[in-house]
Structure 1
Amino acid sequence: MSAIEKATLRQQALARRLEQGGDAAAVTRNLIAALAPHQEQLLAGYWPMRGEADPRPAMARHQGGVALPVVPGRAMPLIFRAWDGHRLEPGPFGTSHPPADAAEVIPQVVIVPLAAFDAAGNRIGYGGGFYDRSLQILRARGSVTAIGLAFASQELPVIPAESFDQPLDLIVTDRETRFFQR
């Protein structure tokens, strides 16, 4: 699939997410249930933007440490900083993240925002490759669980996976949680 075709899929999926959205309360319930086996592990979530499914209510209930990603620059992996639930600074691309004095951490569970996903667990993000780079590094260091979070309306029939795409271990939506054997 060409970069133009993938960009078109991304634009269509993002437009559908803004138009259709989903059941936010169901997303929260399903994410809390999916995180239950991971209590006491360090969890990296994200600060939602542009109509993304919101992981914050589930993050607030998590019993382990919580972190948020920091985008250090283009074509670089994310840095994860501990988050106390309060202070945030604006980041690039419309992101929000903990301040520079927050400790850098290595999460064991990462909630990944999605533009789109398919039944095989493939995903499209925003096109910067930040999560793919980051998951590759985290997996090289040890075990990490990657949880895609989206509304069911973001599902597409097929998303072609490329060699650098990092697979998700599960996808949580407002309708269900899907687990993938890798």
Structure 2
Amino acid sequence: MDKRTIAVFVGSLRKDSYNRQLARALERLAEDRLRFDYVDIGRLPFYNQDLDGDYPPGGVALKRQVRGADAVLFVTPEYNRSVPGVLKNAIDLASRPYGDSAFAGLPAAVIGASPGAIGTALAQQHLRNILSYLDMAVMPQPEAYIQFEDGLVDADGRVTRQDTREFLEDFVDRFVNWISLQRG
């Protein structure tokens, strides 16, 4: 079976972000089954409804990238108890104008990392509400709020804690199955 292509949205722009490290760890765990296609959300223009009739090239390219994927993975930090503005902007660009959403019908999974004890629970709940409205089939379980600590993921993308690695392996397995259920 060919590898499924996953459009990966990392909600942090920080070079060494915990969520980018988490995404790379997931990529490593899934490398025999999934191909990760990272979406560069840091260079996108701001969504502006005035441009719906003449969509900006960055928005067009973003939609093309999402439409070329079999599923979408959102890896988000939590800023002020919600999703980062840069991630929300990318979602708005790919889903607008109304009736031309690149996300409609795609399977998705949500995960996030934070040094805090509750991880990214509130941001993920907000994100799930948005994705549901956009007609995405969001994997319901497992919910994955990773409490990140330095050294959890090494420079090669390997998870250093066995219990976390096993949890993430299960997350990847279930995401692969979820995609198969949704896409056939």
Scaled by the length of structure 2, what TM-score is found? 0.42
Q: Which protein has the bigger helix share? A: 2
Scaled by the length of structure 1, what TM-score is found? 0.42
